[in-house]
Structure formats: C-alpha cells, structure tokens
Amino acid sequence: MDLGLGGRGYLLTGASRGLGFATARALVDDGARVLVSSRTAASVDAAVASLGGAPAAYGLAADLAAPDTAGQLVEAAVRDLGRVDGALVSVGGPAPGRVLDTAEDDWRAAVDSVLLGTIRLVKALVPVLGEGAAIGLVLSTSVRQPIPHLAISNALRPGLAMTAKALADELGPRGIRVFGLLPGTIATDRITDIEAASGDPEGMRSRTEAGIPLRRVGRPQEFGAVAAFALSPAAGYVTGAMIPVDGGLTRAL
C-alpha cells in the first residue's frame, strides 16, 4: 500500500529512541523526510545516523519544557526539510507515584513539559502547516482507564486527548487533521527499565502479558507503522480520533 509519504516532511519529538524513533523509521522507509528531537544531543545524533542522515533525517536536541523550544524546532524543521506536513508529538513520561504521594513540584514539571510543551509546539506548528497536514499526539491508555502508580499521567493524558479533539474541530476547516495514539505496553527501553527495577523482570513481563488479549507486549515497529499510517495522506479522513495500539488491553470503547 502506498501511503503517499514520498517527499513529505515531518517533525517528531521524543524520537531518538522508542516509539518516536520507530515512527521516524517507518516514515523514512516509506519515502518521507524527518527531523527528530529529544533532550540529549548524543542520542539525537545516533538516531539521525541510524536513519541514514541527510537528506532523509535531521536532528535537534531540545527540551519541550523550555518556553523557546517550540519555535526553535519549527524553524529547524522548515529550514532542514523545506516543508512540514505534520508532526508526532511525544513527551517523556512524568514522574510515577500515587495521587496522594506525588510531590507538587513533580506535577508542575509535568504540566510544563507534557501539557504546555505540547500546546506550545502545536501553536508554533500551525502557521507553517497546509491543507493535508496532520498532528499526532502520543498519549497513553491512561486516556481511557487509569494506570496504577502513574497519577500524573492519569491526570494529564486525558486532558491532552480532549485538547486534540478540540484542535481537530478548530483546524479541520483548514484541512489539518489532529489525532491521538494510545500505546499500551510496548517493548521499549523504558519498559525494560521498569521491569528490571521490579527485581523480577521475567515475572513482571509474564503478569503483564497475561492481562493483554494478544498475550504479548507490543513491538515498537508495530506502533511506528500505525503512527506513520495515521500521519500519511492514506488516513486523510481520520481526525479527532484516539487510536489504541495496545493489543486489546483497553476495555473501554
């Protein structure tokens, strides 16, 4: 299936590894060009090299929590890619913890990065996007059901989902689509670290898989394929949707 990605340009944040990188890989493999970003320059450079470098891939180290980052990222994307046809916005997970035990500073930090960082980037992007562009927000299954010990994510991700819905209404008349992706348990470095910290990684993986209808965790490339499709012209009539990529984990409609 031709997704129509040839020659198109996309900005991806949080994309030096994990879900963002898997999406960048899928986009590049289908003929798109990307600018990938994350907070660490070394990891950005490694990701760009793995993607083949220019003219297929460019990179910029940046932290979405900083107020001037959004403008810098969009400026770099326009300069390096020549055109921006969309973005995948992914922000690192906020500090774990229960509602009553989570420090107020952790809530503030998450609002700055997860919430305001995303909104700033969307605002900076919209003026350079044309008809047929798409913005995808990487959210979580916590949009539909809470995840134990992730109180901040449980609070902010549903809010961003509704923000995406509102943006779909606001930008639809301009032909710009907005959607959310709800990954379940995907075999990224973050999941591996969480399993290792449990002291029984094999046992934790087995318990996790037992609760997933497909009885396995997802592969990053499976998420990347869905994200690339949703960003592509092939999904041109999909907007305002929250798309689960979770092996059936989410029970809510």
Q: Of the candidates 46, 230, 209, which has an alpha carbon nearest to the alpha carbon of residue 135?
A: 230
Largest distance between two CA atoms of the chain: 52
Q: Find the domain containing 98 and state its range.
A: 9-189+217-242
Domain assignment present for residue 117? The answer is yes
Do β-strands 86-89 and 57-61 pair in parallel, antiparallel, or remain unpaired?
unpaired
Across the range 183-199, mean pLDDT stands at 81
What's the one-letter identity of residue 34? V
- Residue 182 counted as domain residue: yes
73-104 tens-digit pLDDT: 999 999 999 999 999 999 877 888 899 999 99
Per-residue tokens: 32 = 């798109």
Number of domains present in the structure of the chain = 1
For residue range 34-86, list pLDDT tens digits in order. Answer: 999 999 999 999 999 999 999 999 999 999 989 999 999 999 999 999 999 99
The answer, as to whether pTM is greater than 0.85, is yes
In a domain, 147, yes or no: yes
Query: What SS3 state is found at 82?
Result: coil
Domain annotation covers residue 228: yes
Helix locations, 140-219, DSSP H? 151-171, 189-197, 201-210
Q: Judge whether 137 lies within some domain.
A: yes
Q: Is residue 252 part of a domain?
A: no
End-to-end Cα separation, the chain, in angstroms? 28
CATH code (residue 229) = 3.40.50.720
